[in-house]
Amino acid sequence: MSFIYWLDVIALGVCIIVAGALALGTIGVGPRRTVNRAFALFTILEAVWATSSLSLRLALWLERGNPLVLAELSTLAFSLMGPFLLIFAARYVARRTRWIDLASVLGLLVMAALSIPLFRHELVTAPRLLSNGSKTLEVSGSGLLLATLPALFFDWALLLFWRDLQKFRDSLFSTCIFVLLTGFV
């Protein structure tokens, strides 16, 4: 297998470890705080996305299992990460969260509605591994919307972080957020 494939496998493995450790650490620090719960949900979803993406790569390479279900699970986890990151970002920068929560719930409902045909194999189909080690799959219009809609929530969350960057006093926490976002992108 090519260098790109193994680089992707290693990056997804690191993402699983970092996201899982951050989720466990955050829950251990104080699960009663809303900001901690929101961050833990985001990192758990990121770990699920990375795990299903890594499993998809390995299933395609080994030609075992059901890669279509793994692609669908990866798409679903990916689509839910955006609203949960926005919920966390609003609480972390201490913004008024009423409108942000409403937008996040609306986004989750839209993504849930778009996900209905996901597991009927209508949004994501034909996952395969190319000879250069990268994966490809066919995506319907609704599937493309389901995969790109979270970008709006990610952009909104990054805007909140960027606007209040000088208020962050916990540099380790900010670094973890940066690493997660960079790894995700």
pLDDT digits (tens, 9 = 90+) for 62-105: 888 888 888 888 888 888 888 988 888 888 877 777 888 899 88
- The DSSP annotation for 54-118 comes to HHHHHHHHHT-S-HHHHHHHHHHHHHHHHHHHHHHHHHHTT---HHHHHHHHHHHHHHHHHHTTG
- Percent of the chain beyond pLDDT 90? 8
Burial of residue 82 (CB within 10 Å: 0-12, 13-18, 19+) is buried
CA–CA distances in Å: residue 66 to residues 56, 72, 94, 140, 148: 8, 10, 43, 19, 24
φ/ψ of residue 66, rounded to 5:
-115, 90
Rounded to an integer, what distance in angstroms lies between the CA atom of residue 23 and that of residue 37?
9
Give the span between the Cα atoms of 185 and 175, in whole angstroms. Answer: 15
Q: What whole-number distance in Å separates Cα of residue 105 and Cα of residue 155?
A: 17
Give residue 165's pLDDT.
Answer: 67
CA 83/CA 60 separation, integer angstroms = 30
Report residue 31 as tokens: 């699960």
pTM: predicted TM-score of the whole model, two decimal places: 0.81
